Amino acid sequence: MAAVQEAPRADLRPKRIRNFIKPLLVKPNTKVRLPQSFDPAFTAGFNSEDGVGAQEVLRQGVQLLSEYQDRLAAQNKYCLLVILQAMDAAGKDGTIRHVMSGVNPQGVDVHSFKAPSTEELDHDYLWRYNRRLPERGKIGIFNRSYYEEVLVVRVHPAILEREQLPPEDVGPDMWRRRFREINNWERYLTDNGFRIVKLFLNVSKDEQRRRFLARIDEPEKNWKLSTADAQEREYWDDYQQAFSDVLSNTSTEWAPWYVIPADRKWFARIAAAAVIADALIAIDPQYPTVTGAARAGLKEVRRQLQSEAQRGRKRSKKAA
User: In this chain, which residue has its C-beta nearest to ligand ATP?
Assistant: 148
Taking CB under 6 A as the criterion, which residues in 79-138 touch ligand ATP?
88, 93, 112-116
CB of 101 to Mg ion, least distance (A): 22
Task: Give the nearer residue to ligand ATP in terms of CB position, either 15 or 114.
Answer: 114
* Contact predicate 79/192, CB 8 Å: no
In angstroms, rounded to a whole number, what is the distance separating the alpha carbons of residues 68 and 104? Answer: 11
Stretch (H or E) spanning 152: helix 152-155
3-state secondary structure of 151: coil
Q: Taking CB within 5 to 8 Å according to partner kind, which of ligand ATP, Mg ion, none is near residue 144?
A: ligand ATP
Q: What pairs with residue 83 in β-bridges?
A: 142, 198
Task: Give the nearer residue to ligand ATP in terms of CB position, either 70 or 163.
Answer: 163
The residue within the footprint of ligand ATP, chosen from 144, 154, 195, 269 (CB under 6 A), is 144
Q: What pairs with residue 80 in β-bridges?
A: 139, 195
CB of 199 to Mg ion, least distance (A): 17
* Contact predicate 129/145, CB 8 Å: yes
Q: Taking CB within 5 to 8 Å according to partner kind, which of ligand ATP, Mg ion, none is near residue 149?
A: ligand ATP
In angstroms, rounded to a whole number, what is the distance separating the alpha carbons of residues 35 and 64? Answer: 32
211 binds ligand ATP (CB under 6 A): no
- For 58, half-sphere exposure in the C-beta direction (CA atoms, 13 angstrom radius) is 23
Q: Taking CB within 5 to 8 Å according to partner kind, which of ligand ATP, Mg ion, none is near residue 153?
A: ligand ATP
Site string for ligand ATP, 147-176 (x = CB under 6 A): -xx--xx-----x-----------------
In angstroms, rounded to a whole number, what is the distance separating the alpha carbons of residues 122 and 100? Answer: 34
Taking CB under 5 A as the criterion, which residues in 80-109 touch Mg ion?
88
Q: Taking CB within 5 to 8 Å according to partner kind, which of ligand ATP, Mg ion, none is near residue 159?
A: ligand ATP
* Contact predicate 245/153, CB 8 Å: no
Going by the DSSP 8-state scheme, the letter that residue 25 receives in this structure is: B
CB of 16 to ligand ATP, least distance (A): 32
Q: Which amino acid is at 55?
A: Q
Task: Give the nearer residue to ligand ATP in terms of CB position, either 44 or 121.
Answer: 121
In terms of C-beta density within 10 A (0-12 exposed, 13-18 middle, 19 or more buried), how is residue 258 classed? buried
CB of 61 to Mg ion, least distance (A): 27
What is the Cα 255 distance to its own chain's centre? Answer: 12
**Residues of this chain that bind Mg ion (CB under 5 A):** 88
**Residues of this chain that bind ligand ATP (CB under 6 A):** 88, 93, 112-116, 144, 148-149, 152-153, 159
